[in-house]
A and B are shown apart, each in its own frame.
Chain A
Amino acid sequence: MKLLHTADWQIGMKAAQLGAAAAQARAARLETARRIAELARQERVDLAVLAGDTFENHAVALDDVGQIARILAGFPCPVVVLAGNHDPLVSGGVWDLPVWRGCPNVHIPRLEAPLELEACVVFPCPLRSRWGTGDPTGWIPAAQYEDRIRIGVAHGALEGSPNEEQTPYIAADAPVQRRLDYLALGHWHSTRVYRGPDGAERMAYSGTPEPTSFGEDDSGNVLLVEIDAPGAAPRVRRARVAGLRWMREEYEICQSGALAATLAKLEQLASPETVAELRLHGALYPEDLDTLEAIRQLAGRFLFLRIDDGLRPLLRLEDLSEGPLREAARRLHEMAKDGQQAAEARLALETLLSLAKGAGA
């Protein structure tokens, strides 16, 4: 059989750090969901599992829920959608909406009970609250359907790993304990595949198919898992589906004109699908002021560009004629070295230098 494993779509998620681009980032997640459906069709998968956190919250926009329902209904195979810690099984929640009645191929398990499908038997472990109390895979019987491919679907942190959201812990050897051919996990946004004692890859986090923040490592994938027979080692393959590129660039400016190289690099990277964070350190040379402004102007070519400007204006007193402006620049330069007003002083100095240059001082 061929299985498409995905999780953590986090539809409707907040992206406050992206400012005005947040809505586009949210829309990109829906587009990625459509791409995943297309991939399922192309790959002719027998089953798709969505291992929790399909939605960021139960109270997301109904229109988003409707779009997701239509996308899932369009999968060419059964889809098992697990309730995660962001969208647990609660009364009046997103899973109680009537829209799901129109999706016959979509299974939303409400009980810890085996789900017999044509290609395999699925052992779902839905969450009923945001915070877990025990290993959700604990209920899976080791001695049932032994002649069939057994797929587990769970959501939570692996035993022994950081767990800030206090989701349930899943035993690190759950596939062995529960005798599962494959355990599809959700919750971590990075793709992680685990080998068992026999060397087979029987447990994995698919990660979120669309990155959610800067610094997320290896996200933006789904997993395609092929299992030939009960007990056979799965073949796990990752497929990139992310629509947006999240990147963080950091530069240390140590000489006059070096900022131009940064500008050139950013011009190459600039695209409406790129979300970037630029961190600048070092010195701001008076002749680089225009380049810095050009970098700032570049923001419009990205979906989002955040510039963390830590440049310290470099003061060359000889650039200013003797008089109040030079004295003011000298004082601001002193203040910019440290203290509470250092940042303000840097900006003030940058402004002064710029104005003085414009005034021909």
Chain B
Amino acid sequence: MIVRKITVEHFGRFLEPLEVTLDPARPNLLAGPNGSGKSTLLAALTSAFTISATSAAQEIRRWQPWQRALHPRVTVEFEHGGLLWRLRKEFAFSQRGTALLECFEGGQWLPRAQGRNVEERLPEFLGAPHGGPGSWLVAGVLWARQNGLAELNLEQPLQERVRASLGAQIRSGPVETVLRNVRQRYNQDWPPQGMALRQSSPVLRMEAEVETLRGRVRELQDSLAGLEADRAKLEHVLAEGSALEGRKSALETRLKELGDQLKQKTVLDAERLELEKTIESARRQLDAATTALNLRQTITADLEAAARTVFGLEERLQQARTEVKLAEDAWIEARTSVLAGAKEARSQLQGLNAPPQEVLDKAARLEGQLRQLEARLEGALLHVRLELEASARIEVRRGSPEGVIEGRAGEPVEISGSPEIELALPGLGRMRIWGPSASVEQLKEEIAQVRSARETLLQPWGSADLELLTGMRRQADELERQIESLQKELAAHEKSVSPEAAAVTRCRDAVRGLEEQLRQAQETQRSLQQQKLQLDSDPRNDAALQQAKEEAARRLAVAGIRHKEVCGQLELLPRDLEQEKSRAEDELVRLRSEMEENQEQKARLSERIEQKQREGTYALLVDAEERLAAKEQEYVSARRVAHANRLLWQTLDAVLTDAERLILPGLESRTTELLGRVQGGAFGGVTLDPGTWTPRAVHPAAVEAPMEVEPDRISGGEQEQLYLALRLALADILTEGERQLVVLDDVLLATDAARLARILELIEERRQRMQFLILTCHPERFSELGDVHLIRTGEAQAAE
């Protein structure tokens, strides 16, 4: 951007319109004393491009004329992109602020944007085509405000702008053509995300087509496999059908055989039954004839033997009955003896009158109680034992025995009493003996009660002698056991388990046995007698009977042989012919059903195979596989090209990025070179911060060893020169594509004359590429600049 004219009104100290015209070709020197409005003019220019007309921020409010409700106005005419533009702004500190952008075309100013649209377009004139953060990039670098040479804010957007600027140089010419072509190829094959874009990629589209074809091939392969499986099934079904046919045929043959066998069996069974009847009849006739012949020979002897047997049995029966009588008598006698013994024992028991055991037990308890009481009584009495040396009369006044006791020498006298004993001993006096008192009377009374109870208890048994009574009790017990034994013996007799009763039973059984034998013998005798009667009534003689016997035997033999033959034939036939035939018939029904099912299955499979055969499944598969192969080949080829294009793009991009990465060292190198020239000799170098691109250190050339000096440690003049060199280096880069305005607002105040002269040389060298606007209150310092456009504030409107 090259500024042609700046007009300000109501801006800071400029109440009236002030117009400053800049020379696009020559350096512009805006000179004036302090407070003449040089910096205000620069602020107006900056505000026009960087502050919205509707802004109410302090940064614009500060330029409202003091205590006046006026709106600052700025108009800037400038060149950009080969056209002449005019920007007009009125800052109303509200939405009423106005902005207008015009372009000079066809001899007149034509509006190009208004209001917000103007604000949106302004960044492009400052080197940021799309606006946004850092949008006054170029101005930020190239317009150095008073005391602000070091206020260089090289943030990322500016760095990008510088990179882009240098990159644009790297990418220019044939490189650009190739790069555009490669990018186009790359974007075509590898479009950004998004379905529509992805579908536009031939490779991705082909990939989808390949996948679709693969699906179709898989489907047809499955269909073909299904066809093969159906064929295999059909083979199996046909084989099964043949097997079923074979089984059916075999079964039908078997059924016919079974029918024949059944008929044969029926005939044989009938013959067998007939033969069995014949055999029975012949056997009866044979037996009858044989019996008759035998009987005729033996019947008399048999009758006699039978009579003997009957007689003998009758005798033995008589004897047995006698034995029964004897046994019964023995039983009665034994029973009577037992009864008598029991009666005697009961009589003795009664006569004994022995007390029962519980009486004896109770009496024994009373006896024990009595002895206990007597011992206690003994313990409660006072005792005196007198052993007299001579006989004496002792009067016991109190004690026991009470009264007078004639004592003899050598015989001790014992006296007891309670609670005291009082004795009168003639010639000696009275003696009173006392001691601990006890209830002797009570004890005596208890003893009397116990004795009375014992007497009452034993009185019915005729004796109080417990030992005697115990002996009687033992006797009674013995008698009771004897009675019990006899009663058991009697019961055995009653229940017929005694030896005598058993003998009776045995004899009676013998009688019954003999009676049965006799009955049978009598029966046999009667039978023989009857036979004898029959034989006597048969008119045939023995010869006739013998002939009948032989005839019956012959018939029996013939029928027997045939019967054996028939049975043999029947034996050869299966036993369960009917069941087998029934089973075979059922099996045949099942087989026919299976065969029908087999036929249906065969028809189904044949139809399915025919259908697939008609479809030409293999031909379809071949076609699909071929199309797939062709598409895959196409896809592989396209993918290879796409990958190659991507690799080409990536490689080119990497090469360019690497080249652009060298920009910082390049900037350092340019700055170093410019600073070296300003300082008039070899200079070690400048190191820029990789993040902010601001000077981090300078390297003096004079020192032998590498040395780094921080910028704030060098002199103020050197600092000015360092930052100026950096700004010029950046300006060199940023003005590659478009001439730009470079503003220096009293920035070289600390620079000595020699270095200033060298700086002026640098400015001189750049006048073709940059428009310089130098604001100064010491215009004489720039006298070495030839052919400048000098503007003095106060005469700006007419300056030339």
Contact = CB atoms under 8 A, between A and B. Distances in A.
Contact of A328 (B224, B612, B655): B655
B651 A332 contact: yes
A263 interface: no
B633 interface: yes
B644 A348 contact: yes
Contacts of B232: 90
Interface stretch (B134-142, B172-180, B265-273, B433-441): B172-180
A18 B613 contact: no
Given A59-B619, A361-B174, A344 B647 contact: yes
A19 B633 contact: yes
Nearest to B230: A92
A26 B622 CA distance: 10
Interface centre among B170, B606, B629, B645 (most CB of A within 10 A): B629
Given A58-B613, A356-B178, A360-B174, A348 B651 contact: yes
B659 A324 contact: yes
Contacts of A352: 178, 182, 648, 652
Interface in A332-346: 332, 335, 341, 343-346
Contacts of A13: 622
Contact of A359 (B170, B174, B610): B174
A63 to B, nearest CB: 8
A229 interface: no
Nearest to B224: A59
A62 interface: yes
A343 B170 CA distance: 29
B640 interface: yes
A332 B231 CA distance: 57
B181 A355 contact: yes
Contacts of A321: 174
Interface in B588-625: 605-606, 609-610, 612-619, 621-623, 625
B234 interface: yes
A327 B174 contact: no
Interface in B192-231: 224, 227, 230-231
B619 A64 contact: yes
A197 interface: no
B175 A361 contact: yes
Interface residues of A, number: 52
B160 interface: no
A351 B648 CA distance: 8
Given A20-B630, A332-B647, A345-B647, A323 B175 contact: yes
Interface in A16-69: 16-20, 22-23, 26, 56-64
A103 interface: no
A211 interface: no
A358 B178 CA distance: 9
Contacts of A92: 230-231, 234, 605-606, 609-610, 613
A23 B613 CA distance: 20
B570 interface: no
Contact of B628 (A16, A324, A327, A356): A16
A328 to B, nearest CB: 5
A347 B640 CA distance: 8
Nearest to A94: B613
Contacts of A344: 640, 643-644, 647
B759 to A, nearest CB: 34
B644 A17 contact: no
Contacts of A346: 644
B648 A324 contact: no
A107 interface: no
Contacts of B613: 58-59, 62, 92, 94, 97
Given A61-B616, A347-B644, A324 B171 contact: yes
B625 A331 contact: no
A93 interface: yes
A12 B619 contact: yes
Nearest to A320: B174
Contacts of B621: 14, 59
Contacts of A93: 231
Contact of B651 (A60, A61, A64, A328): A328
Secondary structure at chain B's binding surface: helix, strand, loop or mixed?
helix
A356 B181 CA distance: 10
Nearest to A341: B647
Given A16-B625, A92-B605, A360-B174, A331 B181 contact: no
Contacts of A331: 651, 654-655
A15 interface: yes
A347 B641 CA distance: 7
B629 A17 contact: yes
A57 B227 CA distance: 11
Interface in B229-271: 230-232, 234-235, 238
A268 interface: no
Interface in A311-336: 321, 323-325, 327-328, 331-332, 335
A91 interface: yes
B105 to A, nearest CB: 35
A59 B227 contact: yes
Contacts of B618: 12, 56-60
Nearest to A323: B175
Contact of A59 (B181, B617, B641): B617
A233 to B, nearest CB: 41
B656 interface: yes
A62 B614 contact: yes
B629 A16 contact: yes
A123 B254 CA distance: 40
B238 A91 contact: yes
A355 B612 contact: no
Contacts of A59: 224, 227, 612-613, 615-619, 621
Contacts of B617: 59
Nearest to B223: A59
B515 to A, nearest CB: 95
B630 A324 contact: no
B619 A61 contact: yes
Contacts of B652: 324-325, 328, 352
A332 B645 CA distance: 12
A344 B637 CA distance: 11
Contacts of B523: none
Contacts of B643: 344
B175 A324 contact: yes
Contacts of B231: 58, 90-93
B736 interface: no
A361 B178 contact: yes
Contacts of B659: 324, 327
B178 A325 contact: yes
Given A16-B630, A57-B224, A347-B644, 15 more contacts: A16-B626, A19-B626, A22-B630, A23-B623, A59-B616, A61-B616, A91-B609, A327-B658, A328-B651, A344-B647, A345-B644, A345-B647, A355-B177, A355-B181, A356-B174
Interface of A: 12-20, 22-23, 26, 56-64, 90-94, 97, 321, 323-325, 327-328, 331-332, 335, 341, 343-349, 351-352, 355-356, 358-361
8 contacts: A13-B622, A19-B633, A62-B614, A92-B606, A324-B652, A324-B659, A361-B175, A361-B178
The 3 closest A-B pairs by CB, nearest first: A16-B629, A92-B609, A361-B174
